[in-house]
Amino acid sequence: MVPLCGFCGKQRSMIYCRSDAASLCLSCDRSVHSANALSRRHRRTLLCDRCGLQPASVRCLEDNTSLCQNCDWNGHDAASGASGHKRQAINCYSGCPSSAELSRIWSFIIDIPTVAAEPNCEDGLSMMTIDDSDVTNHHGASDDKRLLEIANTALMSDPPSPDKLKPLIGSSSGDGFDVLPLATDQPAGPVSATPKVPYARDDNKFNDGMYEDLCVDDADLTFENYEELFGTSHIRIEELFDDAGIDSYFEMKETPPFDFNEQPKIVQLQCSDVVPADCAMSNTGERADSSLCIPVRQVRSSISHPLSGLTGESSAGDHQDCGVSPILLMGEPPWYSPGPEGSLAGGSRDSALTRYKEKKKKRMFDKKIRYASRKARADVRKRVKGRFIKAGEAYDYDPLSQTRSY
């Protein structure tokens, strides 16, 4: 059954908007998300071709289908015989690109219907924030110039070269950027964002002023992209740790899913660089100010780069919204099996998977946002002790700036 657009109810839906929790046809996507600046910032991705309900996170090049994480699991597990399929990560975009632009973003989609441009939505690619210089600071008046953020795709089995990626993603870190290809022959199962090659930190590049304009606050940490990539929201990740915690899924005590002995250097380096974002020490031993947080950005960009779009549209909210422990982000997803000879016994993994899926199913009945516009408003409203305040009154919490007015 062809999923119909949740807005017009007539056209086949192709796009999933997580903010609106809605699947839309291209026309309505463009129409709806050109309404205002907030909706233009909604990040959308393809709809899963299989279930038609969830946002797709990967594209199976063999089947020529876009799949959400769940369908990817089900369709590419060892039992299905499709575990060797090459898959490509699908990222999100925002703004209102034309169908032609979408075709360029998602070159693997050949049947993108033509969509008439909305008069109130400036044409897309010209507004893409892929210019290197634009990465430094996207806040303020330049916001209108970054209406379209297009995420790249990364071929998992055949990682693109840095040159190949550059035009699409922009350079998040200039020449200092390390493209971190994923391991070849991506096995079946969830996609891992963990770099398979050690992150090579080049301290010289941090000292020569190359990144002096960069500030971690301005960086797009793209943790949302992490969600997009894995089809797993932070809520889900949090839930992995609630109740009995991750142990309940993977019986970590008995059989740790992460073989810390295998990649200790990578994980430790990343964590040490990432976690203390606001307490990182400068070379002189002083507390680092914002301009000295570049290594954090560098590392985070490195992590997300191969699979994510560096949108440059970050905010404190984005970081908060993530709610994911950095160590988790740096490491493999909790369900990740280190490999065919991974430390998890097959039975344990299956049971863990079963429990995870059961919980995931249960979550389907969790709170649904009925009105995204109201949520968007609430997300930016100032408060006093958690309560909304009248416009102009003193506040003690501003979701946008995390500052007080007094």
CB closer to DNA out of 253 and 370: 370
Residue 287: strand pairing partners: 281
Residues that bind DNA (CB under 7 A): 320, 367, 369-371, 373-375, 377-379, 381, 383, 385-391, 397, 399
Name the minimum Å distance from CB 137 to DNA: 24
CB closer to DNA out of 122 and 379: 379
Integer Cα distance of 199 and 305 in angstroms = 12
CB closer to DNA out of 86 and 381: 381
Neighbours of 57 (CB within 10 A): 29
CB closer to DNA out of 197 and 244: 244
Residue 58: strand pairing partners: 67, 89
Are the C-beta atoms of 213 and 79 separated by less than 8 Å? no
94 exposure class (CB count in 10 Å sphere: 0-12, 13-18, 19+): buried
Name the minimum Å distance from CB 380 to DNA: 9
Name the minimum Å distance from CB 139 to DNA: 19
Radius of gyration of the chain (CA): 21
Name the minimum Å distance from CB 259 to DNA: 29
Q: Which residues of 108-147 are buried (b: 16+ CB within 10 A; e: fewer)?
A: bbeebeebebbeebbebeebbbbeeebbeebbeeeeeebb
Return all residues near 22 (Cβ < 8 A) that are at least 6 apart: 6, 7, 16, 372
CB closer to DNA out of 323 and 339: 323
Name the minimum Å distance from CB 14 to DNA: 23
CB closer to DNA out of 158 and 396: 396
End-to-end CA distance of the chain: 56
CB closer to DNA out of 120 and 133: 120
User: What is the enclosing helix (H) or strand (E) of 296?
Assistant: helix 294-304
Name the minimum Å distance from CB 387 to DNA: 3
Question: Hey, what are 250's tokens?
Answer: 């993977």
Name the minimum Å distance from CB 367 to DNA: 7
